[in-house]
Chains A and B, each alone.
Chain A
Amino acid sequence: MQFAITGQKLIASCNYLFEGKKAFAGNLFGRNPAKKTLYERYLRGLLIKRLSEWGIRRIFGFPGDGINGIMGALERAEKSDHKIEFVQVRHEEMAAFMACGHAKFTGEVGVCLATSGPGAIHLLNGLYDAKMDHQPVVAIVGQSSRQAMGGSYQQEVDLISLFKDVAGEYVHQASHPAQIRHLVDRALRIAKAERTVTCIIIPNDLQEVKAIEEPAHLHNTIHSGVGHVTPRILPKEKDLQRAADILNAGQRVAILIGAGAKHAADEVIDIADTLGAGVAKALLGKAVLPDELPFVTGSIGLLGTKPSWDMMMDCDTLFMIGTSFPYSEFLPKEGQAKCVQIDIDQRMLSLRYPADVPLNGDAAETLRALLPLLKRKEDRSWREKIEKEIVRWWKVLEARAMINAEPLNPQRVF
């Protein structure tokens, strides 16, 4: 949006020119601006530098005058070591979806950028998508100038309250330049550690002030650092043994996998083979194993397969791996089956079906630790029955897709 230039903006514009001249002078004297990073003398530049140090290489967003400072820094950083690619969307919701998609497909933190007021509000649905699918996403949003805040100013929205739910783990608004370093560090670290959405709000005038890259070593100063290391999460030995006892005692084991099994494909195949089990897949687990495997019953739920349904209705042991599949009517009735569940998030354990042994751990690591404790099922009849039903189901699917419809049967297109 266009506004008349205020005094504040005039100062900002002067800063802009000043920065440019300094950079130009740097070039004239043969200094490499990539090394002598002048743009980061301002808070907006330090923001980009710090994000870059965290490994951020791409930001999805849409401009607005609440974040023009940040846009200016992105432009200046293009020729530096801290270059971050900016992907321009049509609507901020798309930027949040893209940040979520980036996190889902790369495992990295996704970052989206929006202006104050309407831009920030547009992000919300995409951010909730990331939060609810446990993806690390950082939203950076602009805010009215500090001197206008509380003045019912144009585009002034209570952004801390707005983001309090979706970014409840960490949402902060900067009010002092010394904060920017630890706000970035914490937003990134908490997004990664909690696999959730965090948010930094930066008033537009603050973007233009001189950066404080290293606060004075005094009372009330924060000294944070860059970097996050994913820990190894494994259940205790005795709990793995309890889980193994249940899985060894079961005669008809049904495995249900979700997004949490993403890096555990080989382990799931080995475990299913050892236990003589079939494997059903919740939607987010669809890409974990190919449907062509003879023991994979495919999707589950209202649009799921009959082999998945039959397996769940007839099993005596349910083994859930990295899934929060919500539709309980497609799972066994309480009491029908003993249950072992693995999840990286303790809060998601024993939530959809009461777990006899809820294991908090990384799926692949936990399955690898569990495998030596399991006995191979000698009786393969349960697995054979499942595989036979799967063969039949593929014929049903093909026959359904071949039914004529007007003009195209949707099942035929895939």
Chain B
Amino acid sequence: MASLSGNLATMGPGVPYAIAAKFAYQERVVIALVGDGAMQMNGINGLITISKYWPQWKDPRLIVLVLNNRDLNQVTWEQRIMSGDPKFEGSQDLPDFPFARYAEMLGLKGIGLDHPDAVAGAWETALNADRPTVIEARTDPQVPPLPPHITLEQARHFMSSVLKGDPERGGMIRQSFKEMAETFLPHKT
């Protein structure tokens, strides 16, 4: 089973849906995938609810994966690709928040993840934990979410955001180029 806010497409259903799922199916492992923006909006208050109830769950495993890139990244890319504007740091930059440490303070398990080699181990630890876990992944905001088909307009907007002086243009061009190369010339089989 899996869900999200489909038609309203609101931020913030991840952690409360996971809590509802856990109450309904306590013997199952529940996983929430949440951005740092949604965690700051309401997810961290959901962690308090988790800390209140997990000791009574038959199987205490509930994992919240937070992608912490200090950027409201989807909308940042929409500003670039849909509107052709550079990223507006005033609206897009997020304050850093220590999600893993906060989880520990609440008596949950917190795992900081900042190296690709540690990904498998983090999941293994969380899936074998004796309590709910927050995995805080420090991810790169400059990796572009590539659409399946790039329209001329989208490409023009991307260039326009660069020309208008996007504060992260160096990194985002580099990462976009790498993604495109892997899309059209994948060198791994």
Contacts and interface: CB of A to CB of B under 8 A. Distances in A.
Given A125-B10, A324-B7, A407-B138, A101 B186 contact: no
B114 A408 contact: yes
Contact of A410 (B1, B7, B16, B69): B69
Contacts of B49: 87-90, 94
A89 B15 CA distance: 12
B121 interface: no
Nearest to A408: B139
B67 interface: yes
Nearest to B48: A90
A347 interface: no
A412 B119 contact: yes
A1 interface: no
A395 B114 contact: no
A132 B19 contact: no
B148 A91 contact: no
Nearest to A128: B8
A98 B19 contact: yes
A224 interface: no
A396 interface: yes
A4 interface: no
Contacts of A402: 188
B119 A400 contact: no
A204 interface: no
B23 A410 contact: no
B67 A58 contact: no
B139 A409 contact: yes
Contact of A395 (B33, B46, B139, B189): B189
Contact of B45 (A94, A101, A125, A395): A94
Contacts of A99: 20
Interface string B173-189: 00100110011001111
A273 interface: no
A207 B69 CA distance: 48
Contact of A412 (B21, B116, B189): B116
Contacts of B67: 410, 413
Contacts of A395: 186, 188-189
B46 A94 contact: yes
A345 to B, nearest CB: 12
Nearest to A258: B6
B137 A410 contact: yes
A411 interface: yes
B13 A97 contact: yes
Contacts of A89: 16, 49
Given A287-B1, A406-B140, A94 B182 contact: no
Contact of B17 (A104, A404, A408): A104
Interface string A76-98: 00000000010111110110011
A410 B143 contact: yes
Nearest to A135: B3
A403 B179 contact: yes
A6 interface: no
A406 B5 contact: no
A283 B67 CA distance: 19
Contact of B148 (A125, A304, A406): A304
B137 A396 contact: no
B116 A133 contact: no
B99 to A, nearest CB: 14
A302 interface: yes
Contacts of B175: 403, 405
B25 interface: yes
A308 interface: yes
Given A303-B145, A395-B189, A408 B20 contact: no
A71 to B, nearest CB: 17
B103 interface: no
A105 B8 contact: no
Contact of B23 (A58, A90, A91, A398): A58
A306 B149 CA distance: 7
B16 A105 contact: no
Contact of A405 (B24, B142, B188): B142
A51 B4 CA distance: 27
Interface string B94-123: 000000000000000000011110010000
A106 B21 CA distance: 8
Interface string B44-59: 0110110011000000
Contact of B4 (A283, A398, A413): A283
A305 B148 contact: yes
Contacts of B113: 408, 413
Interface of B: 1-8, 10, 12-13, 15-21, 23-25, 33, 42, 45-46, 48-49, 52-53, 65, 67, 69, 113-116, 119, 137-140, 142-143, 145-149, 171, 175, 178-179, 182-183, 186-189
11 contacts: A58-B24, A89-B16, A97-B16, A98-B16, A105-B3, A105-B20, A125-B10, A287-B2, A306-B148, A409-B139, A413-B65
- Closest 8 A/B residue pairs (Cβ): A101-B20, A101-B17, A97-B16, A405-B140, A132-B7, A287-B2, A399-B182, A309-B148
Given A98-B19, A101-B20, A395-B188, 16 more contacts: A90-B45, A90-B49, A93-B42, A94-B42, A105-B21, A287-B1, A287-B2, A302-B145, A324-B7, A398-B188, A402-B188, A408-B119, A408-B139, A410-B67, A410-B139, A413-B137
